[in-house]
């Protein structure tokens, strides 16, 4: 069940990223991220309100600091990632950012998790597949700035996944709510200072809300999987989202995959199969 939930989270994340990417062709990336998270936060507020009115009061507890860390790291990671993409090469930035999966794996092992030998093999194969599927660029001069930003994004994404896992062990719903409250607050402050929401119109709200809801669902699936098992395993399976994104691009817009990406997809799926079995 853990494997299925984590794989489902990667599929939903990959789908959300694909359609979010199409929206960034018309709107600034920061605006897309901020609005999708804001609309998802409104949905979460409705769910929390329903629970409160049905006799389930909000219980403040150990989930609070984890939710704040997840929100800060998630938002900071996205800003660093999109800034790196704007100033660097996708084939350099994406593989580096995808290595963020090693953070929750390392922290999970440090906190006492002991994956079996075969699981370690599967993790190694899957991580290699994730990097290759991202389409690494190994030729040409590379500016250090996008490399550093991609490294920052990787660390932030990894810490966000680990924090979601730890907070969800106390309260899944409130961790997701607190995470969104933190990140949305940051984007709201930025919007007020810039006096702009990136040029989004009313017709953009529905697709943005769907993208935000998909991202929220992926977070919930991952949190459920990791909190019921080992975060080191769930993080690797949940981080297969680049595979879903590039496969959607291949099917929907006939985007051709480079040979290295095809090999990466195969490695990622093989690694997921080894871990699951």
pLDDT for 182 equals 94
Other Cβ atoms within 10 Å of 108 Cβ, number = 23
pLDDT at residue 85 tops 80:
no
CA-CA distance, 51 to 240, in Å (whole number)? 33
Domain ranges of the chain: 2-276
Q: Alpha-carbon torsion 186, 189, 194, 197, what sign?
A: positive
CA-CA distance, 164 to 154, in Å (whole number)? 15
Structure-token pair, residue 104: 């929750």
Structure-token pair, residue 179: 């995470």
CA-CA distance, 228 to 172, in Å (whole number)? 11
CA-CA distance, 247 to 256, in Å (whole number)? 10
pLDDT at residue 63 tops 70:
yes
pLDDT at residue 179 tops 80:
yes
pLDDT, tens digit, for every residue of 21-39?
788 778 887 788 888 889 9
11 confidence band (pLDDT: 50, 70, 90): very high
- Angle at Cα 263 formed by Cα 241 and Cα 4, nearest 5°? 35
pLDDT for 276 equals 78
pLDDT, tens digit, for every residue of 189-220?
877 887 776 677 788 889 989 998 998 999 99
Please give the average per-residue pLDDT across 7-14, as a whole number.
90
CA-CA distance, 70 to 168, in Å (whole number)? 11
- Angle at Cα 146 formed by Cα 140 and Cα 148, nearest 5°? 115
Please give the average per-residue pLDDT across 272-276, as a whole number.
86
pLDDT for 59 equals 81
pLDDT for 3 equals 83
Please name the helix (run of DSSP H) or strand (run of DSSP E) that holds residue 205, with its range, or none: helix 205-227
Q: Which residue has the higher pLDDT, 62 or 57?
A: 62
Please give the average per-residue pLDDT across 1-21, as a whole number.
86
- Average pLDDT of every residue of the chain: 86
Task: Give the CA distances from residue 180 to residues 35, 143, 152, 222, in Å, rounded to whole numbers and listed in that order.
Answer: 11, 33, 20, 15
Residue 276 in contact with residue 115, Cβ under 8 Å?
no
Please give the average per-residue pLDDT across 17-24, as a whole number.
82
Q: Which residue has the higher pLDDT, 90 or 224?
A: 224
């Amino acid at each position: 069940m853990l494997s299925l939930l984590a794989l489902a989270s990667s599929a939903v994340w990959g789908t959300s990223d694909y359609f979010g990417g199409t929206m960034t062709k018309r709107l600034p990336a920061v605006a897309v991220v901020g609005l999708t998270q804001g609309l998802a936060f409104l949905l979460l507020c409705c769910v929390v309100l329903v629970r409160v009115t049905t006799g389930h009061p909000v219980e403040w507890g150990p989930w609070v600091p984890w939710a704040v860390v997840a929100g800060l790291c998630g938002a900071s990671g996205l800003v660093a990632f999109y800034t790196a993409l704007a100033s660097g090469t996708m084939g350099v930035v994406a593989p580096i950012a995808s290595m963020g999966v090693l953070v929750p794996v390392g922290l999970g092992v440090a906190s006492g998790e002991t994956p079996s030998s075969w699981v370690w093999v599967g993790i190694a194969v899957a991580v290699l597949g994730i990097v290759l599927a991202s389409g690494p660029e190994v030729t040409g001069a590379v500016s250090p700035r996008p490399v550093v930003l991609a490294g920052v994004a990787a660390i932030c994404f990894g810490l966000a996944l680990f924090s979601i896992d730890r907070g969800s062990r106390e309260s899944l719903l409130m961790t997701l709510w607190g995470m969104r409250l933190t990140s949305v607050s940051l984007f709201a402050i930025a919007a007020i200072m810039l006096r702009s929401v990136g040029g989004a119109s009313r017709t953009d709200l529905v697709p943005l809300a769907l993208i935000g809801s998909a991202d929220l669902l992926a977070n919930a699936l991952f949190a459920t999987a990791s909190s019921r098992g080992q975060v080191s395993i769930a993080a690797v399976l949940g981080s297969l989202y680049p595979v879903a994104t590039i496969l959607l691009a291949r099917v929907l817009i006939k985007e051709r995959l480079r040979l290295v990406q095809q090999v990466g997809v195969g490695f990622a799926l093989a690694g997921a199969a080894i871990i699951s079995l």
